[in-house]
A and B are shown apart, each in its own frame.
Chain A
C-alpha cells in the first residue's frame, strides 16, 4: 500500500473536530445557518435509539460481569466508549504528578454518559479574581453569556426551580421531579444546618419539548443513553438535527492529526487518519472549529507546527496547554438505621439526584478560595456488580429483621434476609468544587511518545495546591454534619490529611478545562473573547479549553452556550466577509 494522503475535492465552509457538546452545538448552529460543514469524530457512529447500541433497561444478568466497570470504566452498560485508558492511545505524566484523562470516542463524545447536571456559571464565576485576587477574570461576564444560556435552555431542555440565588442564575426550567425519600431527609437536615438543598438542574425532559424527543420515563439510566432522546446528549439533540439540514458531512473513526496552515499561517484544513483503513486524509475548509475536548484540542494545536507557528498553532503566547484544571471532588457516605426494612416501590427516578446543594458560603471568609456544590446519592437502586459486598461490616453492627444484632458475616437464611433488610439504607454525597487555574498545571507534547497512529501524545503535569486540599477538608466536615444530622452512622473513617481529605486525583471528575484560555491580551491567552485564536483568525475553539476558570459548576452548559456564541460570531463574521 502506497503512502498517499487523500485529499477531499471540496472545500467546506467549516471543518469541526469533535462531536461532543461544543462540536455538536457548532455543527447545528453553523449548518442551520447555511454553512457546509465537515464534522470529524475520532470514534464511530452512535444512536441510543438504535437496538445495535441500546443498553438502557437491560438487566444486570444480561452482562456476564453484571455491569461491572472493569472494562468500561462506568460499567458494562455505560454509554461511554473509551475511558481513562484507551488501547493504543497513551498519555504520560511528569514524575511526581498525576492526571487521569478520560476520553470518549463516539458521536456525541462524553455527553452520552454524563450526569446531565446543567448549571449556569454565575456573575461571580466569570470574575473571581476580583474577589480573591487569584487566577484571572474571564474577558467576558455573565451578561455576555446569559442570552446563550437562555437559548440553550429552550433548545435542549433543563428542569429546575427558580430560586433567585445571586450566583446561581435561574434558567428557563421544566418542572423538576419530586425528591426521593432520602432526599427529603437531606433537605430537612440542610434546613437545620443552613445548607441550601434545592431541586437539581438536569437536562432531562420531564415534559416533551418537541416532536423529535420523548419525555423521561424515570429509569434513572441517563448514563446509558436514552432511546427516547429524553436527556441531552450531543449525538441525539445536536448532531442528528444538524445532519438533517443536509449541510453536514460526518467523518467517523477519523482521528485528527494536524490543523494544516498555508505559507501565511492561515489554516486551510485538517488532516486525519481513518481508523478503519489506516489511511491519511485531509479535509479542507475556510474555517476550522476545534471541539475535541480541552486537552485533545490543545494536543492537536501543539502538534500543528509550521514555520509560521513554531511552538504549535495558536501558541505564540506559550500559554497553550497551560492553566489546565479539573473540578475538585471528595465523597462520604453513611448508614441510615431508620431506613432499614423499607417499603418497596420504584424510586429509580431520573438519572442522578433530584436535589443538590449549590455553594452557599460566598459571603463567608474561609481558609480556601472558591467553593463547591454537593451532589447526593442513595435509595433503592438497581443491583449491579458489587451489590452486597461488605455485609460483614454491616450486619454485626446493626440489628437485623428480628431486632437482634447477629455476629458479623455469617451465611444461610439469616444472611440472605440481611441483604433485604439493609437494602436502600445508605446515603452518600460528593462535593464538586472549583480549583484555581495555575500556569504550572499543564499538558504538553511528550517528546518521546506517539500513539498507534503516530501522533505525538500529551504529557501532563498537575498538582493540587493547599487551596484545593483545604476545600476538600471543608467538604468532609460538611458531609459529616449533614449525615449525622440525618441520623446516619458514618461509613469508614473520615479521610484526613494522609489522603488530602479524600480529594480525587486531577482528571477523575472529568471537568478538565483551561488549556486554550480566552483573554483580551494575546500574550496571556490563546483565544480572544469570541473563542477565536489570536494567532489564526479562522480557527476557533468551542470546547472547555477556553475557560479561564471553571467555577464549581459542571462545564457542559457553559460549553454549549459558548459554542453557540462562537458559532453565531462565525456566521456574523462570514456575512461581513471578515472570515
Chain B
C-alpha cells in the first residue's frame, strides 16, 4: 500500500469534501489589481514564498571552485559506507549552496573559511585543497576537525570545519538516504499504541506502574 493510500484508509474516509465557494467575493471588484501572493497557494506555499525560493535558488553565490571544495569536504565528513550513500548521493553540496544564500549569516564564515583552507594548504603543500593529494587533504583536515586537539593557530579552521560539519550533517540527514541510514521510520500515518514491549523490558519500565 502506498503511503497516500494508507492515509486515506486510515483517516480520510470520514471527511467531507472541501467546502467550495465559501469566500466572499461580492464586494471585490471584478479585476483585482492584487498582488497574487496574498491568496495563491501551491503545495503549501504562497506564491510569494515560491517566487522568493526560486529567486534564491537562481542567484549565483559560490564559484565553481568553491562548490567543488564544499562537495569534497562534505564527502569527507559523511562518506558512503557499504550499505548507504554519503554526502554526494544525498546531494549535500546543492543543499549547502542554497542554504548559504538563504541564511546570509553563513556567507562570510563559509566563503572566508574556504579561502582560509586554501591558504593553509598552499602554505603547507603549495596547492589549493582540491588539488592536494588525498593524504595531504587528510593531513589538513586532521588539523582542524578535532576542536579539543587542534593547535591554537588552527582555531579559525576549526570554526569553519564545525560549520561545514553541521551543514553537512543537516543536509545529509534531511534526505531519503539520511532517513534510511538513521533509521527514522516516522512521518507516516500509523497507530500509536505505546512503546514496544521489548523496549519497555529493556529499560525496566511498564505502563502499569
B29 and A279 contacting across the interface, CB-CB below 8 Å: yes
* Least CB distance, A187 to chain B, in whole angstroms: 9
Name the residue among B16, B19, B22 with the largest chain A CB count within 10 angstroms: B22
Q: Does A133 contact B (CB under 8 A)?
A: no
B165 and A281 contacting across the interface, CB-CB below 8 Å: no
A345 and B193 contacting across the interface, CB-CB below 8 Å: no
* Least CB distance, A228 to chain B, in whole angstroms: 4
* Least CB distance, A6 to chain B, in whole angstroms: 6
User: Mask for B76-106, Cβ within 8 A of A = 1, else 0?
Assistant: 1111010000100000000100110011000
Chain B: which residue is nearest A177 at the CB level?
Answer: B192
A383 and B184 contacting across the interface, CB-CB below 8 Å: yes
Residue of A52, A218, A220, A409 touching B165 (CB-CB under 8 A): A409
Give every chain B residue within 8 A of A420 (Cβ-Cβ).
Answer: 181-183
Give every chain B residue within 8 A of A240 (Cβ-Cβ).
Answer: 19, 22
Q: Does B145 contact A (CB under 8 A)?
A: yes
B199 and A275 contacting across the interface, CB-CB below 8 Å: no
Give every chain A residue within 8 A of B160 (Cβ-Cβ).
Answer: none
B182 and A385 contacting across the interface, CB-CB below 8 Å: no
Chain A: which residue is nearest B17 at the CB level?
Answer: A49
Interface segment, one of A248-256, A261-269, A426-434, A521-529: A248-256
Chain B: which residue is nearest A72 at the CB level?
Answer: B49
Interface extent on B, as a size class? 35 or more
Give every chain A residue within 8 A of B10 (Cβ-Cβ).
Answer: 217
Q: Does B108 contact A (CB under 8 A)?
A: no
Q: Does B112 contact A (CB under 8 A)?
A: no
Chain A: which residue is nearest B42 at the CB level?
Answer: A52
* Least CB distance, B139 to chain A, in whole angstroms: 13
Q: Does A64 contact B (CB under 8 A)?
A: yes
Residue of A51, A178, A216, A244 touching B207 (CB-CB under 8 A): A178
Tell me, in angstroms, the Cα distance from A24 to B7 when the chains sit together: 28
Tell me, in angstroms, the Cα distance from A58 to B176 when the chains sit together: 12
Give every chain B residue within 8 A of A180 (Cβ-Cβ).
Answer: 195
A415 and B43 contacting across the interface, CB-CB below 8 Å: no
Q: Does A509 contact B (CB under 8 A)?
A: no
User: Mask for B142-165, Cβ within 8 A of A = 1, else 0?
Assistant: 000111110000000010011001
B28 and A277 contacting across the interface, CB-CB below 8 Å: yes
Q: Known contacts A278-B33, A382-B186; decide if A411 and B77 are in contact (CB<8 Å).
A: yes
Q: Does B126 contact A (CB under 8 A)?
A: no
Tell me, in angstroms, the Cα distance from A243 to B99 when the chains sit together: 42
Residue of B86, B145, B161, B169 touching A387 (CB-CB under 8 A): B169
Give every chain B residue within 8 A of A471 (Cβ-Cβ).
Answer: none
Q: Does A130 contact B (CB under 8 A)?
A: no
Q: Does B15 contact A (CB under 8 A)?
A: yes
Tell me, in angstroms, the Cα distance from A65 to B45 when the chains sit together: 13
* Least CB distance, B158 to chain A, in whole angstroms: 8
Q: In terms of DSSP, what is the predominant structure of the interface of chain A? A: loop
Q: Known contacts A45-B22, A409-B162; decide if A178 and B205 are in contact (CB<8 Å).
A: no
B39 and A64 contacting across the interface, CB-CB below 8 Å: no
B77 and A185 contacting across the interface, CB-CB below 8 Å: no
Q: Does A68 contact B (CB under 8 A)?
A: yes
Residue of A243, A346, A382, A419 touching B19 (CB-CB under 8 A): A243
Give every chain B residue within 8 A of A208 (Cβ-Cβ).
Answer: 14
Residue of A228, A343, A346, A348 touching B11 (CB-CB under 8 A): A228
A184 and B205 contacting across the interface, CB-CB below 8 Å: yes
Give every chain B residue within 8 A of A81 (Cβ-Cβ).
Answer: 46
Give every chain A residue within 8 A of B38 (Cβ-Cβ).
Answer: 43-44, 253, 275-276
Q: Does A416 contact B (CB under 8 A)?
A: yes
Q: Does A232 contact B (CB under 8 A)?
A: no
A382 and B184 contacting across the interface, CB-CB below 8 Å: yes
Give every chain A residue within 8 A of B182 (Cβ-Cβ).
Answer: 383, 419-420, 423
Tell me, in angstroms, the Cα distance from A560 to B43 when the chains sit together: 31
Chain B: which residue is nearest A380 at the CB level?
Answer: B184
Tell me, in angstroms, the Cα distance from A228 to B13 when the chains sit together: 9
Q: Does A34 contact B (CB under 8 A)?
A: no
Q: Does B63 contact A (CB under 8 A)?
A: no
Give every chain B residue within 8 A of A64 (Cβ-Cβ).
Answer: 53, 56-57, 95, 98-99, 102
Tell me, in angstroms, the Cα distance from A388 to B43 when the chains sit together: 27
Q: Does B141 contact A (CB under 8 A)?
A: yes
Tell me, in angstroms, the Cα distance from A415 to B161 when the chains sit together: 13
What residues make up the interface of B, taking CB atoms closer than 8 Å to A?
3, 7, 10-16, 18-19, 22-24, 26-29, 32-34, 38-39, 41-46, 49, 52-53, 56-57, 76-79, 81, 86, 95, 98-99, 102-103, 141, 145-149, 158, 161-162, 165-166, 169-176, 178-179, 181-196, 198-200, 202-203, 205, 207, 209
Mind listing 15 A-B residue pairs with CB under 8 Å?
A: A45-B23, A54-B44, A70-B102, A76-B45, A181-B200, A212-B15, A214-B13, A227-B15, A251-B27, A253-B34, A277-B29, A345-B196, A346-B192, A389-B169, A396-B147
Known contacts A396-B147, A416-B181, A420-B181, then 12 further A-B pairs from the complex at CB < 8 Å, ordered by chain A residue: A50-B18, A212-B15, A214-B13, A218-B189, A252-B23, A277-B29, A382-B186, A388-B170, A409-B146, A409-B147, A411-B76, A416-B78
Q: Which 8 residue pairs are nearest across A and B when measured between Cβ atoms?
A: A388-B169, A178-B194, A276-B34, A217-B189, A60-B174, A55-B44, A348-B186, A344-B183
